[in-house]
Structures are given as C-alpha cells and as structure tokens.
Amino acid sequence: MPKNADDVITNCHTHTFLLDHVPRGFLPFGLTMALARLPFQRTIARVLRSLNPFNDRDRFSRYANFLEIEGRPSQSETFKIIQSYYPDNTRFIVLPMDMAYIGAGKPNIDIDQQHDELESIAKQSDGCISPFLAIDPRRYDGPEGQARLHQQLEPRFPPGSALQNSGYSGGSNSIRRLDIGHRMRA
C-alpha cells in the first residue's frame, strides 16, 4: 500500500491475454482447449494447486492461475480483476503476448486483435494503462512483412515518439533496430 495518496505504484509487468490468445498446444495433451470449455474451471484450478501443496509457484499453480484469470471473456474483465488487487491510483504496463510462434499452433485470436482490444481499453483507462506492442520478428519476415509492420505501428505512435526516432524505416534488417518495448499511444 502506498504511504500516502500521492504515492503511485506502477505494475510494470501485467498480462491481460485470454485463452483465445493461447495456442491449442500450450498445455500438454490438448488440455488448453479442454479446460477452457469446462464449466468448473475453479474446481480444476483447486485440483491443480493440490498436486503440490508445498509450492504455490510451481507449474500446476501457474496453470491454475491461468485458468482462473485468463478464462474471462475479455481483456477488460481480466484487467478489472488484476486492478482490484491494487490501490486506485496504480498504473499498469500491460504486455500482450504473441504466442503464434512458440511451436504450439496458432491461437484463435491473433496478436493484431489483441493489440486493438488492449489499445481500446487503454484509451478508456484515464491513463492508468500503458500498453506495449508484442513484436515477434518471425511474423514480419522479409520486406513485405516489414512494410506491413511499419504500416501497423505508425498510427499507434505519436510524432516524435521512440519509434519515429529509432531509425526504423521498414527496410532490410530494420526490425532488429526497433526497440521491442515501445509504448502505444493511449
């Protein structure tokens, strides 16, 4: 808790992605989609936690947290749950996840839609959300892909921002010069 009302906490590592942003092969044995469709996700989460009651940071506990939080229907609802654990004046840096290239299949909802929803939530947040962009260079391979990336990024950054000043031109190898942690316009 902040010492006084003027102190501000900034949570610099928050995720609001949903089960639809996760590839089917993320959990072993097809559990990702099976668990997402079960009406008793909280019961399954309790069972997962009980598999190792001496450690609340093991893989089973992480899967349980994932089920309880990321099983929500929107990033906005997920964010409201996260926000409820913090004082009212807390700021959040929200990091989307592009999981299309982790070798587990393609997610139902791609990163562009995740970015769009996150950007919309940030615009309605009165400045408490600073959204970032998840950029996986494999998605934007080659000159056409890099041109598409530049086209998608340009409207999200104000003139004079880090993107504008990074030397990014959409040309060969320019994606490697792009600082991955750019903040979107909110």
* Amino acid 28: pLDDT: 75
Q: Which residues of 126-160 are buried (b: 16+ CB within 10 A; e: fewer)?
A: eebbbbbbbbbeebbeeeeebeebbeebeebbeee
Lowest mean pLDDT among 48-52, 57-61, 87-91: 57-61
Kindly state the tokens that stand for 60: 């089973």
Return the DSSP state at 11. E
Task: List, for residues 37-52, the tens digit of each pLDDT value.
Answer: 666 777 877 888 888 8
pTM across the whole model: 0.69
Burial (CB count <10 Å: 0-12, 13-18, 19+), residue 39: exposed
Kindly state the tokens that stand for 95: 């990091």
Pick the closest to residue 14 from 86, 106, 79, 110 (CA basis): 79
Return the DSSP state at 72. S
Strand partners, 11: 92
* Amino acid 87: pLDDT: 93
Residue 23 has pLDDT above 60, yes or no: yes
- State the pLDDT confidence band at 36, using cuts at 50, 70 and 90: low
How far is Cα 149 from Cα 146, in angstroms, rounded to an integer?
5
* Amino acid 82: pLDDT: 87
Residue 85 has pLDDT above 70, yes or no: yes
Residue percentage of the chain with pLDDT more than 70? 75
User: Given CA atoms 183, 96, 77, 90 in this order, what sign does their dihedral have?
Assistant: negative
Lowest mean pLDDT among 17-21, 67-71, 134-138: 67-71
Kindly state the tokens that stand for 4: 């006084």
Burial (CB count <10 Å: 0-12, 13-18, 19+), residue 83: middle
Return the DSSP state at 136. -
Task: List, for residues 156-186, the tens digit of each pLDDT value.
Answer: 765 655 554 444 444 433 333 344 444 445 5
